[in-house]
Amino acid sequence: MRMIDLIIKKRNGRELSKEEIDFMVGGFTAGSIPDYQMSAMMMAILLKGMTDEETVNLTLAMTNSGEKVDLSKVSGITVDKHSTGGVGDKATLVLLPLTASCGLKVAKMSGRGLGHTGGTTDKFECFKGFNMALSAGEFAEAVELRGACLASAYGDVCPADRKMYALRDVTGTVESLPLIASSIVSKKLAGGADAFVFEVMSGSGAFMKNDDEATELARSMVKLGRMAGKKCSAVITNMDQPLGAAVGNSLEMIEALETLKGRGNAETNELIYALGEQMLLIGEIASTKEEAHKKLKEAIDSGAAIEKLKEIVSGQGGDIRGIDDYSYLPTASITEKIESDLSGYVASIKCDDIGNAVRILGGGRLVKEDEVDLSVGVVIHKKVGDRVEKGESLATIYANSKEKLEEAKEIFLSSYSFSDNKTEHQKLLHGIIE
């Protein structure tokens, strides 16, 4: 079997067999197939696509290219919730303890933020000492003991995906749906959970820029997971403006803590309940959405959810004082109101610009090795459909550098557009694939 023959076969639009895909992925991971041949194959996949059978075989080959986590000794159904990433994406911060306090076993493997989107791993590091560098055995033990665990993605998990992902970035093949879906699902399968709930974001602040693309990706991931023998569902959400009010690691953690204490804003609550219901249903903790909703609300109202967070954080070595006293969380030295230059109704917000403004403040990274300032960010006061008068505050910005603040402020202001006519508030939930 030769890689050149497989490239020509896919270039001509023909289907690759399981044996051919295993040969390709195994050879590339081992180094016997060079980057330039895999680059040519990925371009052929981008142009010609893959069948469902090809995509699931590619996903399984990537999953089997490295270490897999064994959660078979964990009692009950283990669930992992995955987000495709956005601006102000804080749902997992709430859902991890909230669903665990309802009796669900949540096994969450997560990565760090890159570009204008934040990472769950970074946000949990707001609790000083919080340890996510766990072995596979420690991960499984924590899930069984406390009902939930957040761990960094292991170095040996899906090495084929790491190598392919790096090539996609520099070969113009990032947009290939089979490559996107197989990349996400292969890592989820390697994480060992029994079931997955995917949060797929659509809009200017997300990877998928419109509902058609987001729905296609959601359906593809759900189908892939099911073909691999897992229970899956997906929730498609709006990311044409940041979720909730806070953007930035520590600020988002504070908003999540407020939500767990029953003081969350309506938008964040709507998403939390939609995703939480799917997690409890797929984990067989509830049999109807109504029952799931009731369990989630009771966990917040009774204080069980916030107590579960304390158990999780302390169990992984973190300082729980920041849960009740936010001064123990990373705090910026400079705060400033961003005042509007115009009057009118907020017509739109360039969500990715908000994320980039926070990255300029130091709250994001361009490469994975960059250090992140956990304390910086913005808290937004005006969103799409809101009335604004000239001089009124659009947001509060949190910074540790006056120069970075001024640069970020300019980007933030340019992200807003106004209209004389009221724009309808944007719908948050765009669809659920159950």
Catalytic-labelled residue, pool 65, 110, 176, 183: 183
Catalytic-labelled residue, pool 108, 123, 187, 359: 187
CA 191 to CA 221: how far, in whole Å? 15
Catalytic-labelled residue, pool 90, 168, 383, 409: 168
212 part of the active site: no
Catalytic-labelled residue, pool 161, 194, 240, 353: 161
The torsion region of residue 76 among left (phi > 0), alpha (psi -120 to 50) and beta comes to left
183 part of the active site: yes
Quick one: tokens of 285? Answer: 């903790």
168 part of the active site: yes
Query: What is the amino acid identity at position 241?
Result: Q
Quick one: tokens of 262? Answer: 């029953």
381 part of the active site: no
Please choose, from the candidates 84, 353, 348, the residue with its C-alpha nearest in 3D space to the C-alpha of residue 201: 84
At how many degrees (to 10) do helices 402-414 and 351-358 cross? 180
123 part of the active site: no
Residues marked as catalytic = 82, 161, 168, 183, 187
